[in-house]
Structure 1
Amino acid sequence: MSGPFETVDVARLRSGHGVKWGSLPAATIGAWVADMDFGVPPAVRESIVRVTEREDFGYPFWPGQDPVVEAFEERMAGRHGWTPRPGRTRVFTDLIQILQVMIEHATEPGDGVAIHVPSYPPFLASIARSGRRIVPLPMVWSETGWGFAAEGLTARLREQGCRMIVLVDPHNPTGRVFTRAELAPLAEAAEELDLVVLADEIHADLVFSPHRHVPFASLGADAAARTITATSATKAFNIAGLRCAVAHIGPDRVWKSLAEAPLDYFGTPSVLSRVATVAAWREGEAWLEQLMLTLDDNRRAVARWAAASPWDLRHHTPEATYLAWLDFAGTPPADGGPAALLERRAGVKLSEGAEFSEHTGVDTASFARLNFATSPANLQEILSRVASLWA
């Protein structure tokens, strides 16, 4: 392997403003927050340089349609086989903002919001802070992979007073890519109970072959009419700090409610974030293809390492993302959770599993999430340090 993904410059990573490395002691390796250790596509860098050389940092303006919206619509149709409804897309800063805004416009305080658990911790916190009730849909381990119980789903959601489903697909942290057959019961329940579905599809460009991402809004006319599709170029192209995301709003009542809100309520992503997003989606494909080869090698390396562990280290190779969800229940007990122990005694920081089920009754305390979007050599050092703790 050669090219931009063969090595990473740890000194560069530590000297910058990124939380993944900058917040850690010098001897600790960062493998937690979902940033990659790599750079960005050349087209993204060049687009930012052009804006900088023009000193073009005023308020954003484009004649006609926002180019971010155009690039989003092109990508959804060309890459994922779904054609968004024209005129129904808004640009936001990130998916956390989108979730918070949509909760306020699609539900009422006290309503239930269903979400697969474990789940992205800021999503759980956002639902809880808004005064809504988290209705967990537990992800279930099996020998063949992670899944969830679809039987009786409609009745369960009705009993819990659900008004919204938050679907994270591809799923963070397990890396599952839900099939059309798995998504169908969710669509049926949403139709019967008249639920809004917020589909977080931010990892859709990070799916490993032979798996295929299925946009929830592509399941049929009813699904399209009730789905808010949220995505961004930030994960696949490593530009999270630039803050730009989009939401395609299918439900008429939510669109009408948003249209009546004050304009300044939504904020304005910058010129830099917009040009970088457009460059990523329109010109970053060759870079992304090379990235996926490295991530594929890395996820297989994690799988081999986990299988060779002398302990019962449960792990399913992710079908998407650059995140490995590891169950340390079969290792010697760890006070305070496995990630805390690893940071303290092995000098490697993973994400603590318990955070992915906060505000719910689901127990994920024995898990930790490992970010493998780094060079092969750095990944081997991470895995060696983890293994050494229980050697």
Structure 2
Amino acid sequence: MDFDSIIDRRCTESYKWHYYPEDVLPMWLADMDFKAPEPVIQALTERVNHGVFGYGSRLEGLDDAILQHLVHFFDWTVNPEDLNFVCGVVTGFVHAIYSLTEPGESVLIQTPIYPPILRAPHATGRVAVHNRLILKEDGKYEIDFDDFEEKVASGVKLFILCNPHNPVGRVFTREELTKMAEICLKYNVWICSDEIHNDLIFSGYQHIPIANLSPDAAQITVTYLAPSKTFNIAGLSTSVVIAENPVIKDRLSQTLSMLLGHPNILGLHAARAAYLHGRPWLREVMHYLQANRDYLVNYVNENLPGIRMWSPEGTFLGWLDCRQLEVESPHRFFLDEAKVGFNDGISFGEDGQGFLRINFGCPRAMLDEGLVRMKTALEKL
């Protein structure tokens, strides 16, 4: 499988490649610059060649493919009736906020955090309560459990978990997840778990669905996941929602089809092909991403003075600590002086001030070009 070839995406409608001017190398938005698995492309081609694209229904074999995937990778047995589909994880967790809380109630998030999660409570008329992750000396983030319980006990109704965590790259341990789940159970707080990066886990770590910890944890959790990040098909807008508790399912189902519509039929065909036949591609892309991660961490820490980077445990996203740089805005500096476009850390919350998020899900030559541009810009300071 070829992950080294650079594919021209400017000739497409790619949001990632058209957001910045043409002389800027985009290393921000979380989709990869690799071709999707060949079985996915073949499945889409066959369906497109049929030529009729009317309303669709449940796609035969898709549910089983997802359920088998969850058992294989996470030892998680999900009942078929507990699985449903939404157009995207973001729309899913926003829908969960609407369905499981009331206007003015509090929603807990762990900052720095993926911008749509950061904005979701306010956008839905709820109150965002922040449990700030603790940044250790080595660059690793940990959970402040004393603060977590204090915030949960203050009247929070819903906790949005992001695991693997975007942007800090943590894959939370069983012990961490168990402690969070126990606190939420103690205070009768729902958990909405964004696990969209669940398959993108590096060697030495294991993703554990929080709903799979125990029957009690499953009863308070709604989980969102997708083939989009895993198999690089984010533009096909097909995601999965899993909820075991009848109360959660009932509240979600009341407005699910009216507010969210249905995933498009091409997305469903792509998802089925990916889950059925995409494992070899996933195995190879993870080897490539891990090599890119290691190269990136070493390069940053050895060649970019004033920047440090901890090695993420999952995702294809790096969190660059640029707080020692003598520049007003690292994002603006590298955009103007290096012509490299990142996500500005401040968009992940106040805790992200002075940080940048970099996407290393790209050919090595592209990653290297971005790093060399950064190094050259820093040498001019």
Instruction: Output the TM-score relative to the length of structure 2.
Output: 0.95
Q: Residues 262 and 224 (structure 1 numbering): CA distance in 2 closer, same or farther, change over 3 Å?
A: closer
1:371 counterpart letter in structure 2: N
In the alignment, structure 2 segments of 5+ residues that lack a partner are: none
Q: Counterpart of 1:76?
A: 70
1:368 maps onto 2:356 in alignment: yes
- The 2-side partners of 1:108 and 1:389 are apart by 49
1:348 maps onto 2:306 in alignment: no
Choose from 144, 148, 169 the match for 2:143. Answer: 148
Q: Counterpart of 1:27?
A: 23
- The 2-side partners of 1:152 and 1:384 are apart by 41
Q: Is the 8 A contact 2:152 2:184 kept in 1?
A: no
1:147 counterpart letter in structure 2: E
Q: Counterpart of 1:210?
A: 204
Q: Is the 8 A contact 2:108 2:151 kept in 1?
A: no
Q: Is the 8 A contact 1:230 1:247 kept in 2?
A: yes
Q: Counterpart of 1:176?
A: 170
Could you give the per-residue CA deviations for residues 179-225 of structure 1, whole angstroms, max 9, x where no partner exists? 00111221111101111101111101100011000110111111011
1:124 counterpart letter in structure 2: L
Q: Is the 8 A contact 1:154 1:193 kept in 2?
A: no
- The 2-side partners of 1:24 and 1:390 are apart by 21
1:103 maps onto 2:91 in alignment: no
Alignment of 1:163-202 (within 5 A): 163-202=157-196
SS at match of 1:7: coil
Q: Counterpart of 1:15?
A: 11
Q: Counterpart of 2:85?
A: 91
- The 2-side partners of 1:254 and 1:310 are apart by 48
Q: Is the 8 A contact 1:16 1:22 kept in 2?
A: no
Structure 1's consecutive aligned runs of 4 or more residues displaced over 6 angstroms after TM superposition are none
Q: Counterpart of 2:369?
A: 381
Q: Is the 8 A contact 2:163 2:195 kept in 1?
A: yes
Could you give the per-residue CA deviations for residues 31-66 of structure 1, whole angstroms, max 9, x where no partner exists? 00001011100000000000011113111134xx76
Q: Is the 8 A contact 1:196 1:251 kept in 2?
A: no
- The 1-side partners of 2:148 and 2:112 are apart by 18
Could you give the per-residue CA deviations for residues 143-175 of structure 1, whole angstroms, max 9, x where no partner exists? 35221111353233112x211111110010011
- The 1-side partners of 2:172 and 2:223 are apart by 15
Q: Is the 8 A contact 2:223 2:243 kept in 1?
A: yes
- The 2-side partners of 1:13 and 1:230 are apart by 28
1:269 counterpart letter in structure 2: P
- The 1-side partners of 2:192 and 2:348 are apart by 19
1:380 counterpart letter in structure 2: D
Q: Is the 8 A contact 1:7 1:376 kept in 2?
A: no
- The 1-side partners of 2:224 and 2:57 are apart by 23
1:133 maps onto 2:127 in alignment: yes
State the 1:87 CA deviation: 0.6
* Larger displacement relative to structure 2 (68-77 or 281-290): 68-77
State the 1:89 CA deviation: 1.7
Q: Residues 175 and 128 (structure 1 numbering): CA distance in 2 closer, same or farther, change over 3 Å?
A: same
* Larger displacement relative to structure 2 (371-380 or 141-150): 141-150
Could you give the per-residue CA deviations for residues 256-310 of structure 1, whole angstroms, max 9, x where no partner exists? 2233337433301111000001111111011111111111111011111122135
SS at match of 1:117: coil
Q: Is the 8 A contact 1:331 1:390 kept in 2?
A: no
- The 1-side partners of 2:173 and 2:339 are apart by 38
In the alignment, structure 1 segments of 5+ residues that lack a partner are: none
- The 1-side partners of 2:55 and 2:65 are apart by 20
Q: Residues 310 and 155 (structure 1 numbering): CA distance in 2 closer, same or farther, change over 3 Å?
A: closer
Could you give the per-residue CA deviations for residues 70-115 of structure 1, whole angstroms, max 9, x where no partner exists? 3222211121111123312221000111011110110111111111
Q: Is the 8 A contact 1:69 1:246 kept in 2?
A: no
Instruction: Output the TM-score relative to the length of structure 1.
Output: 0.93
SS at match of 1:166: strand
